[in-house]
């Protein structure tokens, strides 16, 4: 598959930044065996061309928020306008046109059950062109967020990844494998939110700019960044075009699994190299995944081998992604694959 001049060093750089989005170029260069200037130059070129972007994002579970995967069915003539309206909302992410352009997939976040009611019953678009809405609460995440699909790409060796992996990455893996019991949500101040807003635009924003945005000293900014990461509230993701890794087809996969086998099946699904995001949800389909494959033939092979080998799967529904309007970050970003529902990167990400 054509990768538009994206070479092995570029892919290794993306992998390195996924492991630690604010890693100094000198440390990345040392692990990759190139000069600091080479890494800085590559990043600058890719960043200025809009080919990659580091995003500082918040984990809804750490903040006590609830995520919903919402499926909006529309008439074909209205789907784009409705999707764009959803993408402009600050409480949405992963807005995509699916299934022949008549369905929109969107992830919504709410801070409380009251907010969830308002979001799902009042704030979603109400127009005759919207013919159906279903909402599925995310009850457990098996893979996604800080873990990132690029970690399955092999762009770095395990030894290289181990040298670059931030300690928080290991914590994220541990939480996915063995979710903690009820924890106290992280409380954010207004200054924290200004900090996080800046990082959502550019996860590598310099300390001086972050200090100006928050009114803190640079040492306070540095300390708060460390605290938010250690608490699991802040993680870094890389927005890129998955086609640079040879992945051209993305589908949302909805599975019905016997409740007694849900945890084991979700854990197994999360290990598949094709899976960018996997979670347990409410509803008749209780396991969701975003799947990326090189092409349609590869997708067929995946469905008839790895998925077919999961014994607890009773029913399956697939919905191909046609166009991504918004990814995990602010409106205007969204090529890669790290969260629900992920895309195969049409211009205009993956979770």
Digit-coded pLDDT (tens) for 107-150: 999 886 556 566 555 666 667 788 888 999 999 999 998 888 99
Burial track 210-224 (b if 16+ CB lie within 10 A, e otherwise): bbebbebeeeebeeb
Can you tell me whether residue 147 is helix, strand or coil?
Answer: coil
CA 151 and chain centroid, separation: 13
Ranges assigned E (strand) in 84-219: 92-98, 103-110, 130-143
The secondary element (H helix, E strand) that includes residue 235 is strand 234-240
- State how far the Cα of 160 lies from the Cα of 107, in Å rounded to an integer: 33
Beta bridge partners of 136: 69
State the maximum Cα–Cα separation within the chain, in Å, rounded to a whole number.
58
- Between CA 116 and CA 252 the distance in angstroms is 23
Question: Which candidate, 173, 15, 106, places its Cα nearest to that of 340?
Answer: 106
Cα(296)–Cα(63) distance, integer angstroms: 38
DSSP state of 86: H
Tokens of 14: 């993306």
- Cβ pair 66, 194 in contact under 8 A: no
Overall pTM > 0.95: no
Angle at 341 between CA 236 and CA 272, to 5 degrees: 80
Beta bridge partners of 317: 254
188-239 tens-digit pLDDT? 999 999 999 999 999 999 999 999 999 999 999 999 999 999 999 999 999 9
Round to whole Å and give the CA distance between 55 and 74.
Answer: 31
Residue-by-residue pLDDT tens, the chain, 351 positions: 445 579 999 999 999 999 999 999 999 999 999 999 999 999 999 999 989 999 999 999 999 999 999 999 998 888 999 999 889 888 899 999 998 788 999 999 988 655 656 655 566 666 778 888 899 999 999 999 888 899 999 999 999 999 999 887 666 666 656 666 667 899 999 999 999 999 999 999 999 999 999 999 999 999 999 999 999 999 999 999 999 999 999 999 999 999 999 999 999 999 999 999 999 999 999 999 999 999 999 999 999 999 999 999 999 999 999 999 999 887 655 444 334 443 344 333 444
CA distances in angstroms from 277 to 144, 238, 263, 292, listed in the order given: 5, 14, 15, 10
Contact 292, 264 (CB under 8 A): no
* Separation between Cα atoms, residue 344 and residue 17, nearest integer Å: 20
């Amino acid at each position: 598959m054509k990768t538009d001049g994206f070479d092995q060093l570029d892919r290794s750089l993306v992998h390195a930044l996924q492991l630690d989005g604010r890693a100094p170029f000198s440390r990345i260069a040392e692990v990759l065996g190139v000069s600091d200037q080479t890494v800085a130059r590559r990043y600058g070129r890719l960043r200025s061309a809009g080919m990659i972007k580091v995003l500082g994002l918040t984990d809804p579970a750490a903040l006590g928020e609830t995520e919903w995967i919402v499926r909006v069915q529309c008439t074909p003539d209205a789907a784009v306008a409705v999707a764009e309206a959803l993408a402009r909302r600050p409480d949405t992410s992963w807005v995509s046109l699916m299934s022949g352009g008549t369905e929109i997939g969107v992830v919504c976040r709410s801070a409380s059950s009251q907010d969830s009611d308002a979001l799902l019953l009042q704030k979603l678009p109400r127009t005759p062109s919207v013919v159906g809405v279903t909402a599925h609460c995310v009850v457990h995440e098996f893979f996604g967020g800080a873990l990132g699909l690029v970690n399955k790409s092999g762009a770095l060796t395990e030894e290289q990844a181990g040298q670059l992996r931030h300690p928080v990455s290991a914590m994220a893996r541990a939480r996915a494998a063995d979710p903690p019991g009820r924890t106290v949500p992280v409380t954010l101040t207004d200054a924290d939110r200004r900090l996080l807003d800046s990082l959502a635009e550019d996860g590598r924003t310099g300390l001086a700019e972050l200090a100006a945005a928050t009114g803190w000293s640079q040492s306070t900014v540095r300390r708060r960044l460390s605290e938010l990461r250690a608490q699991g509230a802040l993680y870094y993701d890389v927005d890129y075009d998955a086609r640079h890794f040879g992945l051209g087809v993305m589908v949302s996969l909805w599975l019905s699994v016997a409740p007694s086998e849900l945890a084991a099946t979700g854990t197994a699904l999360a290990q598949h190299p094709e899976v960018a995001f996997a979670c347990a949800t409410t509803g008749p389909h209780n396991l969701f995944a975003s799947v990326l494959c090189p092409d349609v033939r590869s997708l067929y092979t995946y469905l008839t081998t790895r998925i077919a080998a999961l014994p607890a799967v009773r029913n399956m529904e697939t919905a191909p992604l046609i166009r991504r309007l918004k990814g995990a970050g602010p409106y205007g970003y969204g090529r890669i694959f790290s969260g629900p529902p992920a895309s195969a990167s049409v211009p205009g990400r993956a979770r």
